[in-house]
Amino acid sequence: MATLKIDKKDGEKYVRIVESYRDGSGASRMRTLVSLGKLDDKKIESLKRLGIKLYQAMGGNPEELTSKIITEKGRYNYGAGLQTHTFLL
């Protein structure tokens, strides 16, 4: 599964799309699929366009991303429940 990763180096932020995989010995590794370069104010709009294009390519409606109406499909917060359970015991 691919994900977006932001690395900090020398005070700058760099963006890349990475995926996790297992090597021959079974150890978890990460490989870079695409390096998007240094993150700065000029790239924010281009990253937004890229995200919309990717969402659309996967069958999503781009208006869902830009509309002000957001519908919540589900909410999961296991941390508080586990913590409460620990205190009650």
Q: Which pTM was predicted?
A: 0.53
Q: What is the 3 state secondary structure string of the chain?
A: CEEEEEEEECCEEEEEEEEEEECCCCCEEEEEEEEEEECCHHHHHHHHHHHHHHHHHCCCCHHHHHCCCCCCCCCCCHHHHHHHHHHHC
Residue 26 lies in a domain: yes
Share the mean pLDDT of the chain: 77
Kindly state whether residue 86 falls inside one of the protein's structural domains.
no
Residue 52 lies in a domain: yes
Domains in the chain, number: 1
* Domain-embedded: residue 84: no
Asked if residue 73 is part of any domain, the answer here is: no
- In a domain, residue 87? The reply is no
Decide if 12 is inside a domain. Answer: yes
Domain assignment of residue 8, given as a range? 2-67
- Taking only the tens place, the pLDDT of each residue in 13-47 is 888 889 999 999 999 999 999 888 888 766 777 77
Q: Is residue 89 part of a domain?
A: no
